[in-house]
Every structure is written in C-alpha cells, then in structure tokens.
Amino acid sequence: MSADATSKERIAMRAAKEIIPGSIVNLGIGIPTLVSKFINSEDIFLHTENGLLGVKDIFEEDEIDPLIVNAGKLPVGETIGASYFDSAESFSMIRGGHIDVAILGALQVDETGCIANWAIPGQNILGVGGAMDLMAGAKKIIATTMHTNKEGQSKLVKLCTYPITSIRKIDVLITDLGVFQFKEGRCTLIELMPGVELEEVVQHTEASFEVNIKNLTNTVDEIF
C-alpha cells in the first residue's frame, strides 16, 4: 500500500472510533467510504442517500447485484434488517435529523468549522449531490481529508476561499496529521496521528488552533 493509501486508511480507522453503537451513519465518497471496514459493532447501521438503510460491504464477485449500489455508485449488499426507500424519503431522514453521524470528505475547512467540499472556483459547477443536505441535517458531522492538498497547501485554512457547503459547522476533522474538534467557532487539536509531532501540524496548518492533547497515547492502533 502506498504511503498515501496507508494515511487514508488510518484516517478512516480513526473516524470509525467516533461512532458509538446504536448509531445511524451516512458515509460520503472517498476516505469516508473506507470507514465501513473499521466498524465492528453489529449495532451500527449505514445509510446511503440513494435509498438503503443497512448497507453491507461485499467482497466476492458473485455477491454483486448491479441494482444495489451506494451513493458512489459502487456495488454494495444489504444487512439483515435492511430497508429500501425512495430518494425523497431518504432525504427526509437526512434533513429531518434522523441520521446520527455523517462522515464527509473536504476540500477546505476553516478555523471556525465551516466546510467547502462541492465546488472549485474557476471550474464549472456541475455536481453537488447530497453533501449540503447532510450538512443541514445530520446530528454530528465528521470531515475526513488529507491535511494538505496536492500542492502541499493546508486544507485547514483561516477562511474558506472555495464555495462553502453549509452555514452549519462541522464537529470533528480527522486528517493524516491529527484530530481537531470544533466548538463555539474555535478549533482545537485534540490528538496527533501515530508518528506525527506537534511541530509538523503547526508547520502544515494555515488556520489558528488551540492544542489540548489529553494523553500522548494515540487511539489509532499501530497495525500498519
């Protein structure tokens, strides 16, 4: 696995630890999709906005049903107790506050917790999907992303320069460098990812943040 892929898996693994048993969870496209393989509890149900509660990962070719897909249009399976519904009902669940956790990708997050993840300035805006609805309605929002973009610029910025997804703020940001909590418009680094030093986070972050790392023991297992 490449260093980049390992970092993404690590982010997904850490995100899975934010999910408590009994939760209904919606996973976005990209790193969020990887989270499902780190969810062990049978008491966590995955919701996909194209109309399925009870998404199950599939691993064998013969399990594929081309008419069962997730929001990324990838083939998935159904768990015991799964249900299908139309898109209006699915988004009623989302906007109506019935989804406990949404895990989303991000292009930028600013120091107050405002997120941009649907459009790049100067490019044609031709897709928005369900991200804005999830931001408007899910009870807890976790954003997952690599800390810097391909040009090495911080994605945790002072102010989003990309169009924002919602006026509602995210709760937690998990990157390959650390875990940040957003409360009352303030950003706090609460954890470092394995092998990461605080100086490295400071060096790669444009936003101002406070540091409140309770213990230096990482919560992500050193399995890599």
Q: Which residues are catalytic?
A: 49
For 13-57, the DSSP string reads: HHHHTTPPTT-EEEE-SSHHHHGGGG---TT-EEEETTTEEEEE-
User: Binding string, 170-199, against another protein, x = CB under 8 A?
Assistant: ------------------------------
Interaction of residue 80 with another protein, rule CB under 8 A? no
Q: Are 82 and 52 in contact (CB under 8 A)?
A: yes
Contacts 24+ apart (CB under 8 A), 218-223: 218/191, 218/192, 218/193, 218/194, 219/14, 219/17, 219/191, 220/10, 220/13, 220/14, 220/17, 220/193, 220/194, 221/13, 222/194
d(CA 155, CA 161): 10
User: In this chain, which of 80, 127, 151, 217 binds another protein, going by CB under 8 A?
Assistant: 127
Residues 104-123 that bind another protein (CB under 8 A): 119
Interaction of residue 81 with another protein, rule CB under 8 A? no
User: In this chain, which of 68, 138, 177, 193 binds another protein, going by CB under 8 A?
Assistant: 68
Nearest distance from residue 55's CB to another protein, in Å? 10
Stretch that binds another protein, among 8-16, 31-39, 159-167, 181-189 (CB under 8 A): 159-167
Interaction of residue 203 with another protein, rule CB under 8 A? no
Interaction of residue 94 with another protein, rule CB under 8 A? yes
User: In this chain, which of 15, 27, 131, 193 binds another protein, going by CB under 8 A?
Assistant: 131
Interaction of residue 130 with another protein, rule CB under 8 A? yes
d(CA 121, CA 144): 21
Contact residues for another protein, defined by CB under 8 A: 48-52, 61, 64-69, 73, 78, 84-88, 90-92, 94-95, 119, 124-133, 135-137, 163-168
